[in-house]
Amino acid sequence: MTPVHVRLAALADVDAIAPLFDAHRQFYAQPADLALAAAFIKERLRNHESLILLATAEDGRMLGFCQLYPSFCSVEARPIYTLYDLFVIPAARRTGAARRLLQAAEQQAARADIARMDLTTARTNLSAQSLYASCGWQRDDVFHAYSRRVEGGAPG
């Protein structure tokens, strides 16, 4: 198995993260838009709105990333993380990179005294579901998740 190193991303990593983030969006049927990907990641990092963990090979090649959004659980009255993005380039899948990213996310959460991490994935993404289960994540069979699109965007 290829050694995988994981580290916390910094603002200087935007150009390295953007192609990964763009590929992740394309996986979810969004059009390719590298400029949008770079701007989105830059804004999140600049405003300290997310934590991004990068998986790299020994030679420094980017293998993947995961993005954690800090939030809160009102019921537990504690902070939580939402693991919203997890992506590994196709050539690095089955190398342990995704597992290492999940482990690093859990370590980051423990250091930050986070109560829990939540994530969602496509019902059809069976390989991801298998990975999450093997890493101790529990599928929620109690609550239904809902979302609603908001039209109009930001006020002018």
- Mean pLDDT, to the nearest integer, of 80-107? 94
- Mean pLDDT, to the nearest integer, of 1-10? 88
- Residue 82 — φ and ψ, nearest 5°? -105, 115
Q: Is the pLDDT of residue 91 over 70?
A: yes
Helices (H) and strands (E) in the chain, counts: 4, 5
Stated pTM of the model:
0.90
**Could you tell me the residue ranges of all domains in the chain?**
5-134
Instruction: From the options 3.40.630.30, 3.40.50.410, 3.30.930.10, 3.40.50.450, give the CATH code of 5-134.
Output: 3.40.630.30
